[in-house]
Structure 1
Amino acid sequence: MGSGHYFWAILYFASLCSASLANNAKINFREKEKKVLDQILGAGKYDARIRPSGINGTENTPTTVQVNMFLRSISKIDDYKMEYSVQLTFREQWTDERLKFDDIQGRLKYLTLTEANRVWMPDLFFSNEKEGHFHNIIMPNVYIRIFPNGSVLYSIRISLTLACPMNLKLYPLDRQICSLRMASYGWTTDDLVFLWKSGDPVQVVKNLHLPRFTLEKFLTDYCNSKTNTGEYSCLKVDLLFKREFSYYLIQIYIPCCMLVIVSWVSFWLDQGAVPARVSLGVTTLLTMATQTSGINASLPPVSYTKAIDVWTGVCLTFVFGALLEFALVNYASRSDMHKENMKKKRRDLEQASLDAASDLLDTDSNATFAMKPLVRHPGDPLALEKRLQCEVHMQAPKRPNCCKTWLSKFPTRSKRIDVISRITFPLVFALFNLVYWSTYLFREEEDE
């Protein structure tokens, strides 16, 4: 064999030796890690039932637990049940002097555990929780890290359904504040205190998407509670959600406006088209009532009036008013017809009496001839009538009333009611829209 072959054989043997030494070093390092765990968590050396000491290892001060979380998703916000679902990574960090260990010159950064019952844990619970569960696929999504200085980091992924009391007075132009409350169950503030981690205690995933809401901002605060058994430490996160209005504009407001406008078509139909006007009014009224029922079915039965109730109630009133307007027109039309018949009968009677009088005059003209005076006396009724007519013409002419002049073009009362409704209904509805939107939009800005 040449010298080159010997060189490569020696190099290969050296690489095998170095790999073997590295593996032995890793094995030795893992063995040291196991020894450290046995040293600090061995039988009779650590009791998970005892609370860690307070600041600087003093026994008479409470244990301080720093909390932070990462909001992974918010799946739904239910208006009817007044609750919302959230998935988050929850973290707690505290110091336990009993868990200090040698870091082997910085080589052992931390120890990792997957069993929470091996060390003492804060008895934190979510006070407004309705349902919740841990995630166990593929392994339980939980870990505990123990650092050389005795600091303990606990992290877990959980899904929660939390209660969110809502004020729906401005629905669907509202904003809702949903809280996430965390408190100690058994340890009072003399023994355990929760604090938000300094810096950025709450993080939210960047691509958070909600179908009908937008997360505007969130605030962290404290909510310590006092009961008969003592004062308990509490933390809370207030999530401010703004409802997306475009969905309700397309699904509720615009269809209601269209139904109201369709009901006005009845004003332009002929008075004699009774089936068409009745069917149009009844159809729009039933459609509006059905839509109102559908809206209320998705909302809880609350004791106060919501903004959507005002809108649907007024729209329903306009549609019902259009139907009543036709009833009034129909009644006025029959009244006009009755008056016209009476006038016609009166004219026929007068014409018959005039004909009878003319026949009588023709028969008496041959027998007698009455001489009429050529000059009338001042007390004569005909002279007085002419004098009054002259005085009326001498007075200043009155200004004509535009409305009366315009309405005089329509001889019947029923036609006048239709014409007035064509103008009055749209004007009143436009005024209602102005008042409605200005009131609720400005109130929304004031509530901010």
Structure 2
Amino acid sequence: MGSGHYFWAIFYFASLCSASLANNAKINFREKEKKVLDQILGAGKYDARIRPSGINGTANLATMVKVNMFLRSISKIDDYKMEYSVQLTFREQWTDERLKFDDIQGRLKYLTLTEANRVWMPDLFFSNEKEGHFHNIIMPNVYIRIFPNGSVLYSIRISLTLACPMNLKLYPLDRQICSLRMASYGWTTNDLVFLWKEGDPVQVVKNLHLPRFTLEKFLTDYCNSKTNTGEYSCLKVDLLFKREFSYYLIQIYIPCCMLVIVSWVSFWLDQGAVPARVSLGVTTLLTMATQTSGINASLPPVSYTKAIDVWTGVCLTFVFGALLEFALVNYASRSDMHKENMKKKRRDLEQASLDAASDLLDTDSNATFAMKPLVRHPGDPMALEKRLQCEVHMQAPKRPNCCKTWLSKFPTRQCSRSKRIDVISRITFPLVFALFNLVYWSTYLFREEEDE
């Protein structure tokens, strides 16, 4: 056997020996870790029911618990139920002098537990929680780390549905503040105090996406509460959400504007097109009413008026006004027709009386010269001129103004009273609606900036 074979045999044997020694070292290290756990958490050595001592082991001082969290996602913000759902990693850290141990010259950095009932835990609860659950896939998402100096770190992943009272007066141009409140349930501030961890106590996942909101900022604060049983420590996080307006602009505001404009088409249709104008008015009115009911169905029944209520109410009024305008036009048209018929009958009677008088004048030749200055034939130019002057004087306005001067340009037969109502509506409705838009957007947009 050559020297090369001896070399590889010795190398292989050395490798086996080193691997065996490493495994034995690991086994010995795990055995030491087990002994440390048995030493600090063994039966009769640690009681999880007893609160840890305060700072520097002072029993009469409160236990300080530092809190921080990592906001993983916000799944929904429900306007109707006034709640929001959030998933977060929640962490608490405190010091328990009873859990100090030897770190074996720095090799044992911390001990890890998965059973929270093995050590004392703060009795923290979420005061505005509606529903919540832990995550147990594949294993329970929870751990406890015990450090050599007795510091305890508790971390858990939870999903919560929290109450969020909303003020919807500016909806959908509003901002909402949703809070996450944490407090002690049984320990008063004399025994337990919660503190925010120094330096970035709340972290938010990057690229947080919400369908209808944007998380603008968040603030941490304290909210200690006093009751008949004492004062309890409390922490809170205020999340400021801004509602995305583009969705409502496309789904609500633009369709409502289109419905109002479509209702104005009735002003340009002929007065005699009764089925078309009635169908157009009723259809737009029903569509607008359906749109309004659909919007209100997604919102809670509050006692105050919202910005969207003002918009839909005014749009519905404009559509209803266009339908009433046709009713007024129809009534004026029938009234004009009745007046024309009466005038025609009156002219026919006058013509008949004039013809009879003319026949009498022709039979009485002796009285002809006396009657000519008093009675003239209907075809006489002077009589027609006097009648035209009389009609012009009757129709001429006593106080001429711009509107009447503009309306007087239309001949009476081509622009009757009903026609003039349509002409006025073509200008009045768009102008008033444009004025309403100016007042509405300036009022609510400026109010939104003031609320900031």
Q: Shorter-chain-normalised TM-score: which range?
A: over 0.9
Alignment of 1:11-410 (within 5 A): 11-366=11-366, 369-370=369-370, 401-410=401-410
| RMSD after superposition | 4.4
Given the superposition, is the C-alpha separation of residues 361 and 45 from structure 1 closer, same or farther in structure 2, using an over 3 Å criterion?
same
What secondary structure is seen at the aligned counterpart in 1 of 2:266? helix
Report the Cα distance in structure 1 between the residues aligned to 2:387 and 2:350, rounded to whole angstroms.
28
What secondary structure is seen at the aligned counterpart in 1 of 2:186? coil
Report the Cα distance in structure 2 between the residues aligned to 1:104 and 1:81, rounded to whole angstroms.
55
- Percent identical among aligned pairs is 98
Report the Cα distance in structure 1 between the residues aligned to 2:439 and 2:72, rounded to whole angstroms.
41
Given the superposition, is the C-alpha separation of residues 395 and 347 from structure 1 closer, same or farther in structure 2, using an over 3 Å criterion?
closer
How far is 1:364 from its partner?
2.7
8-17 vs 398-407, greater mean Cα deviation: 398-407
Given the superposition, is the C-alpha separation of residues 387 and 54 from structure 1 closer, same or farther in structure 2, using an over 3 Å criterion?
closer
Given the superposition, is the C-alpha separation of residues 389 and 222 from structure 1 closer, same or farther in structure 2, using an over 3 Å criterion?
closer
Contact 2:176 2:240 in 1 (8 A): yes
410-419 vs 185-194, greater mean Cα deviation: 410-419
How far is 1:388 from its partner?
18
Poorly superposed stretches of 4+, deviation over 4 Å = 367-400
Given the superposition, is the C-alpha separation of residues 291 and 99 from structure 1 closer, same or farther in structure 2, using an over 3 Å criterion?
same
Given the superposition, is the C-alpha separation of residues 375 and 111 from structure 1 closer, same or farther in structure 2, using an over 3 Å criterion?
closer
Counterpart position of 1:432: 436
Given the superposition, is the C-alpha separation of residues 25 and 363 from structure 1 closer, same or farther in structure 2, using an over 3 Å criterion?
same
Given the superposition, is the C-alpha separation of residues 136 and 244 from structure 1 closer, same or farther in structure 2, using an over 3 Å criterion?
same
Report the Cα distance in structure 1 between the residues aligned to 2:427 and 2:385, rounded to whole angstroms.
43
Given the superposition, is the C-alpha separation of residues 130 and 398 from structure 1 closer, same or farther in structure 2, using an over 3 Å criterion?
closer
How far is 1:406 from its partner?
1.9
Given the superposition, is the C-alpha separation of residues 427 and 372 from structure 1 closer, same or farther in structure 2, using an over 3 Å criterion?
closer
Report the Cα distance in structure 2 between the residues aligned to 1:256 and 1:305, rounded to whole angstroms.
18
What secondary structure is seen at the aligned counterpart in 2 of 1:356? helix
Query: TM-score with structure 1 length normalisation?
Result: 0.93
Given the superposition, is the C-alpha separation of residues 432 and 376 from structure 1 closer, same or farther in structure 2, using an over 3 Å criterion?
closer
Residues 279-299 of structure 1 show CA distances to partners (whole Å, capped at 9, x for unaligned) of: 000000000001111111111
Given the superposition, is the C-alpha separation of residues 213 and 400 from structure 1 closer, same or farther in structure 2, using an over 3 Å criterion?
same
Residues 338-371 of structure 1 show CA distances to partners (whole Å, capped at 9, x for unaligned) of: 1101111111111122222222222333367549
Residues 75-119 of structure 1 show CA distances to partners (whole Å, capped at 9, x for unaligned) of: 011111110000000000000000001111110000000000000
Contact 2:52 2:97 in 1 (8 A): yes
Report the Cα distance in structure 2 between the residues aligned to 1:269 and 1:315, rounded to whole angstroms.
21
Contact 2:362 2:368 in 1 (8 A): no
How far is 1:408 from its partner?
1.8
Number of residue equivalences:
448
Given the superposition, is the C-alpha separation of residues 331 and 254 from structure 1 closer, same or farther in structure 2, using an over 3 Å criterion?
same
How far is 1:6 from its partner?
1.1
Report the Cα distance in structure 1 between the residues aligned to 2:356 and 2:65, rounded to whole angstroms.
117
What secondary structure is seen at the aligned counterpart in 2 of 1:17? helix
How far is 1:5 from its partner?
1.4
Report the Cα distance in structure 2 between the residues aligned to 1:375 and 1:300, rounded to whole angstroms.
80
Given the superposition, is the C-alpha separation of residues 344 and 31 from structure 1 closer, same or farther in structure 2, using an over 3 Å criterion?
same
Residues 415-435 of structure 1 show CA distances to partners (whole Å, capped at 9, x for unaligned) of: 000000000000000000011
What secondary structure is seen at the aligned counterpart in 2 of 1:277? helix
Contact 2:361 2:368 in 1 (8 A): no
Residues 371-413 of structure 1 show CA distances to partners (whole Å, capped at 9, x for unaligned) of: 9999999999999999999999999999964322221234560
Report the Cα distance in structure 2 between the residues aligned to 1:144 and 1:299, rounded to whole angstroms.
43
Given the superposition, is the C-alpha separation of residues 376 and 50 from structure 1 closer, same or farther in structure 2, using an over 3 Å criterion?
closer
Given the superposition, is the C-alpha separation of residues 386 and 96 from structure 1 closer, same or farther in structure 2, using an over 3 Å criterion?
closer
Query: TM-score with structure 2 length normalisation?
Result: 0.92
Given the superposition, is the C-alpha separation of residues 376 and 282 from structure 1 closer, same or farther in structure 2, using an over 3 Å criterion?
closer
Q: Which runs of 5+ in 2 are unaligned?
A: none
Contact 2:354 2:378 in 1 (8 A): no
Report the Cα distance in structure 2 between the residues aligned to 1:191 and 1:331, rounded to whole angstroms.
83
Report the Cα distance in structure 2 between the residues aligned to 1:290 and 1:375, rounded to whole angstroms.
68
Report the Cα distance in structure 2 between the residues aligned to 1:397 and 1:101, rounded to whole angstroms.
107
Given the superposition, is the C-alpha separation of residues 439 and 149 from structure 1 closer, same or farther in structure 2, using an over 3 Å criterion?
same
369-378 vs 292-301, greater mean Cα deviation: 369-378
Report the Cα distance in structure 2 between the residues aligned to 1:375 and 1:419, rounded to whole angstroms.
42
Contact 2:123 2:184 in 1 (8 A): yes
Contact 2:219 2:237 in 1 (8 A): yes
Residues 298-328 of structure 1 show CA distances to partners (whole Å, capped at 9, x for unaligned) of: 1111111111111110000000000000000
397-406 vs 14-23, greater mean Cα deviation: 397-406
Residues 109-134 of structure 1 show CA distances to partners (whole Å, capped at 9, x for unaligned) of: 00000000000000000000000000
How far is 1:55 from its partner?
0.9
Report the Cα distance in structure 1 between the residues aligned to 2:274 and 2:394, rounded to whole angstroms.
50
Report the Cα distance in structure 2 between the residues aligned to 1:290 and 1:168, rounded to whole angstroms.
21
Given the superposition, is the C-alpha separation of residues 15 and 397 from structure 1 closer, same or farther in structure 2, using an over 3 Å criterion?
closer
Report the Cα distance in structure 2 between the residues aligned to 1:384 and 1:327, rounded to whole angstroms.
37
Report the Cα distance in structure 2 between the residues aligned to 1:384 and 1:210, rounded to whole angstroms.
80
Counterpart position of 2:425: 421
Report the Cα distance in structure 2 between the residues aligned to 1:381 and 1:280, rounded to whole angstroms.
49
Report the Cα distance in structure 2 between the residues aligned to 1:340 and 1:292, rounded to whole angstroms.
44
Does 2:443 align with 1:442? no
What secondary structure is seen at the aligned counterpart in 1 of 2:371? coil
Contact 2:213 2:242 in 1 (8 A): yes
Given the superposition, is the C-alpha separation of residues 151 and 441 from structure 1 closer, same or farther in structure 2, using an over 3 Å criterion?
same
79-88 vs 401-410, greater mean Cα deviation: 401-410
How far is 1:263 from its partner?
0.4
Report the Cα distance in structure 2 between the residues aligned to 1:151 and 1:80, rounded to whole angstroms.
44
398-407 vs 16-25, greater mean Cα deviation: 398-407
How far is 1:200 from its partner?
0.5
Report the Cα distance in structure 2 between the residues aligned to 1:415 and 1:28, rounded to whole angstroms.
104
Given the superposition, is the C-alpha separation of residues 354 and 257 from structure 1 closer, same or farther in structure 2, using an over 3 Å criterion?
same
Report the Cα distance in structure 1 between the residues aligned to 2:350 and 2:375, rounded to whole angstroms.
31
Given the superposition, is the C-alpha separation of residues 145 and 386 from structure 1 closer, same or farther in structure 2, using an over 3 Å criterion?
closer
